[in-house]
Structure 1
Amino acid sequence: MSYSELDKVLEGLKKPSEPKRSTVNPFASYGKESVASPELGSTQPAKAPPPVSMPVSAPPVTPTQSTRSAPVPGANPFAAASGKVADEDKKAKSNPETCLYDYVSKLELFLSKAGEPMATITHNNIPLNLHIDSQVFKDHLLYHVVMKFKSVPERKVINDAVYLAESLARFSRNKIELYNRMHFDGHKLILDLNRSDGYYVVADGSGWALTQTVNCKFIRFPHSSPLPLPDSNGNVLELLPFLNIENEYDKILVTCWVIAAFITTIPRAILCLNGSAGSAKTTQATMLKGLVDPSLEGGMYIRSREDELALLLNQSAVPFFDNLSSLPKGIENLLCVATTGGGFGKKKLYTDNDVITYSFKKPIIITGINIPYDAQDLMDRTISIELSRISEENRRYESEVMSEFEAAKPRILGGALNVLCGAIRRLPSVKLTHRPRMADFALWISAIAEEIGEKNGFSAAKAQEAMKQAMDRGYGSSIAADKFILGLIDFLDALEGTGLHEVTGTVSQCHQAFSDHVLALDRAADYIPSTPQLFSKILKKYVPVLEVNGWLLKFSDNRKNGRFLTFTKKTHGNTPI
């Protein structure tokens, strides 16, 4: 049969007469060899017919008879029945949907400790851990499909792949802790330099080295910036000329704080840089953060929503909040938790019961004209560094200063890592003469100061004294406008002036004596607690402030005749340990 004859047959099929219904079973030849006739309406080119001299086993084509090819053993009979030939069936296996299904199924999928679905991908030979619901992961899937098919798939294809990945991650029962920028296990630091070449720093008591392979997972956020390759011949003291700090003890404390920021296993004190406008608070805070956790964001602002603050804390290894003046109570409480270690849970969506729990233990930097809070628990965790206003003749262009700092950063970072390795070795032999509230932090800065050395003006004793001065300064700032605590200290100092170094009485007696003293000085005083119960409640808040100002306060157990308060003047012998 020639092509012209075939054309006539096809032309005849366009105007079929009313035929008698065929009773031929289209599946009767399943498993037998047959030649497929071209499907009606098909745009595919017809195959060349066999020579006329060869017998054709296929029955004559009628308008009512199936023209679909017989199924081949192992093929999907329903695919054949729907008009898809074997070649089309193979092609269907390489569409974007199937491609993404295969790709996603081969990824390492897991849950973070917070319960967030995560995926590990490889980009430029660097493993990256991404939130599955993030835009970055969606962009990665799109990139994968476009590179393979040279066309952009529908949005639904990407969304379906994301949904599949989330489901596989949730039911993998595989929870893995992710670290942001750094991880310290008590003996060894792993620092993610966040570089495109994939380098990390591994540091322990024997020294530090660069590596491209580590045994834990890090997460990189879009705002994170890379750290330079550290210089092993550097010196951390190159940092000091960039700081607008006059007090020698404060220089010791800030230098030690930067290195202690790498110790993620301990609570680290909040570093509060405060001073008048023009004291370069923001610039210096940016430098200090940039040595450990550089970021494109710079200083952040705290609004009143706790869930927003929790997100900011979670995404920064060293959170930096700039130009704060006051904070709501809930924000103060969350900062306190984030410093000493704790968690914050929030619903992923308001329409379901999924809860994401963030865990924190962060070295936080805050700047402001004054310390922006007076909560005593938070004051116990704050070291206050006062900066003086820079005179006009000493001012420099910020761009010039930052350029010099960036040039020195590899040497400063390398020097800091050298000191850290030595401090890890020294730590077991370091002892504290006095244990403040942040005792672990005090121990580490003592070891760091010892490693920097007395020849450079650093020692464990100086580091501990610097920490005490900075905390006392914070307390003094917090009570400057607090009439109640100022009146109470004046009342106790007046009793000491009469020769009393210890005063004991019931809550009611102490409340009455305090009220009489204050009213004798100021008849219009409006800060006296109205009841003994309220007086007792307020006193608990000020126990640390009283201690800083030389008085110890002890509450007795409840007794039938009332609860007793004992105020004792602090001496070297009764200083709490």
Structure 2
Amino acid sequence: MSDEEKTPAREVIADYAQAHFRYFRTVDGTVYAQRNGHPVARPIRSQGTTGSHRQELMVGLFNDGVGVFNGTALKEALDLIEALAMSQPVQQVHIRVAPGLDGATWLDLGRNDGQSVRIHPTGWDIVTPDPAEVCWRRTQLTGQLPFPVKDTDGKGIDLLMRLCNFANAETECLAIAWLIGCLGPTVPVPAPFLTGPQGAGKSTGGRMLIRIIEGMSGDLRRAPKDEENLIAAVGAGWVTALDNLSHLTPDLSDAMCCIVTGAENIKRALFTDGDVFRVSYRRPLLMTGIDVGVIRPDLAERLLPLRLERPKVRRTEAELWTEYEEILPVVLGSLLDLTVLVRAAEADIPTDLRMADFAHLCAQLDAATGLGALGAYRASLDDLNDDVIEGDLLAQTVLKYAAGLDPGTEERMTSAEWLHCLTGLYSGEECRPLPKGWPTTGKVLSDRLKRLQPTLAARGVLIDWGRTMSARYIEMARPPGPPLPHEQEPAF
């Protein structure tokens, strides 16, 4: 056969690829390849070490006796395939957890054969999902989970709690509720903050919780120094776990709020002038630490404090993790059984809590088991409000001023007048020096009060803003009712 009659290498590769793989694009324009009948999808431009599509295409061509081709032919073929895939329907790819048809959800076991857990209204099964229903995306953070055990009669939960050092039953039921929430692809869940004295096993407890979802390779990591690296870590896995936090900067606090409830970043595409790509993320988040200092009010509403205590009997790491790995299939099976029960339970949706979806899940857990998770969640939020107030002298000063108001009364002043009033109340007759960070203008005071508004409302002080014909005002009111809860003198 003459050289003119030979089929170009790029056409041979393109024909083989289209016969053995399904190509589609996501909403951000990234083109993925999915082997026929297999649920795992890989971006065709990926050069990652977890197995890129270029690598699996080269291996397939070689194993099937088609040939070995140079990089130029592969690039030209993939360029053509990418262009053709842009006309295909849009489909979403998922990491670890995905929504399915008929009210089902999926849990990726991270296996090479693609077998996954399908959680449906009447139970759960281990099957290979239809690629048209679920497309899994794998990264280096995608660990393999064991096959969960059927019919555990709930003993896996008891085995897990025996290994963790949770301080009380309320903390245990909140941890269970969070794990169930992690199996929901669309429900935002608050971020557990494992705290306690030194030696309470906070890092170990955090690893145990995330490894139920991420497998034995799941681990804690230090908080990245900038938001870009944090978002990259969040996007590569399902549960993000940050270890040994001792201080939360305002930027890190805001980033954590976005991770819990979801956000989207727009970034310029590399090697382009005007192209952009979208980075959307909403992930379960977990943190450990003894104390992170002052907690901002918006983050406090998204936290789930889980207190641990020091164990009376110490065990070696090898002994502990050997036992944990042995019971993990039973723990996962019990969690799936409980998830089915909780999702089938009927309960009213609490409308007074910010994380209403998680509050509803706690109510469903109570209806299914009677654990008292919703009450424990309310109590934890109340404790976090106390932490916010104890760390904010302005909040303490506002509560002191509001304590002098009669129930059912309100008071209006401009922001500048409020600043003068509250500053005088804090300084007192001794002209006490103002602390660092005290508002210096009426605008700064107004912004601080907007952040503190939910925290103050939980203590019976309502803050509102309005305008008259001549000026804007801030209104402080005490609704009719009992005295302010936790009423106390400011700690200054």
TM-score normalised by structure 1 residue count: 0.74
The match for 1:104 is 17
The aligned amino acid for 1:407 is: E
- Note the residue ranges of structure 1 that are not aligned, 5 or more in a row: 1-85
- 1:228 pairs with 2:142: no
**Which structure exhibits the higher relative contact order, with contacts defined as CA atoms closer than 8 Å and separated by 6 or more residues?**
2
Q: Percent identity, aligned pairs only?
A: 22
Cα deviation for residue 96 of structure 1 reads: 5.0
Distance 1:500 1:126, change over 3 A: closer
- 1:218 pairs with 2:131: no
The match for 1:552 is 462
Give the 4+ runs in structure 1 shifted more than 6 A: 572-575
Instruction: Choose the corresponding residue for 2:40, options 128, 135, 155.
Output: 128
d(CA) in 1 for partners of 2:160, 2:422: 49
d(CA) in 1 for partners of 2:150, 2:378: 32
Cα deviation for residue 535 of structure 1 reads: 2.2
Distance 1:377 1:552, change over 3 A: same
- Note the residue ranges of structure 2 that are not aligned, 5 or more in a row: 486-492
The aligned amino acid for 1:231 is: V
Cα deviation for residue 513 of structure 1 reads: 2.7
Cα deviation for residue 542 of structure 1 reads: 0.9
- 1:167 pairs with 2:83: yes
The aligned amino acid for 1:534 is: V
- 1:511 pairs with 2:419: yes
Cα deviation for residue 204 of structure 1 reads: 2.1
- Is residue 324–residue 372 contact of structure 1 (8 Å, CA) maintained in 2? no
Cα deviation for residue 466 of structure 1 reads: 0.9
Provide the secondary structure at the position in 2 that maps to 1:542: helix
Which shifted more, 529-538 or 175-184?
529-538
The match for 2:228 is 307
The aligned amino acid for 1:298 is: D
- Is residue 190–residue 358 contact of structure 2 (8 Å, CA) maintained in 1? yes
Which shifted more, 374-383 or 560-569?
560-569
Describe how 1:50-129 pairs up with structure 2 within 5 A.
86=1, 92-93=6-7, 97-106=10-19, 107-121=21-35, 126-129=38-41
Between Structure 1 and Structure 2, how many residues are aligned? 471
- Is residue 250–residue 470 contact of structure 1 (8 Å, CA) maintained in 2? no
Deviations 1:527-555 (A, max 9, x none): 44333333222211111222333423233
Deviations 1:38-85 (A, max 9, x none): xxxxxxxxxxxxxxxxxxxxxxxxxxxxxxxxxxxxxxxxxxxxxxxx
The match for 1:209 is 125
The match for 1:448 is 365
Deviations 1:469-507 (A, max 9, x none): 2223233334433332233333333x26xx666441313
d(CA) in 2 for partners of 1:138, 1:277: 48
Cα deviation for residue 147 of structure 1 reads: 2.9
- Is residue 510–residue 565 contact of structure 1 (8 Å, CA) maintained in 2? no
- 1:565 pairs with 2:475: yes
The match for 2:373 is 463
Deviations 1:324-344 (A, max 9, x none): 233443443332222213322
- Is residue 189–residue 358 contact of structure 2 (8 Å, CA) maintained in 1? yes
Describe how 1:118-517 pairs up with structure 2 within 5 A.
118-121=32-35, 126-135=38-47, 136-148=52-64, 153-169=69-85, 171-184=86-99, 187-214=103-130, 215-234=133-152, 235=154, 236-294=157-215, 296=217, 298-371=219-292, 374-388=295-309, 390=310, 394-426=313-345, 429-432=346-349, 435-451=352-368, 453-454=369-370, 458=371, 462-493=372-403, 495=404, 502-507=409-414, 508-517=416-425
Deviations 1:165-210 (A, max 9, x none): 33333x3243111111112368322222122343222222211122
Distance 1:223 1:246, change over 3 A: same
- Is residue 248–residue 292 contact of structure 2 (8 Å, CA) maintained in 1? no
The RMSD of aligned alpha carbons is: 2.9
Query: Is the radius of gyration larger for structure 1 or structure 2?
Result: 1
The aligned amino acid for 1:219 is: R
Which shifted more, 152-161 or 258-267?
152-161
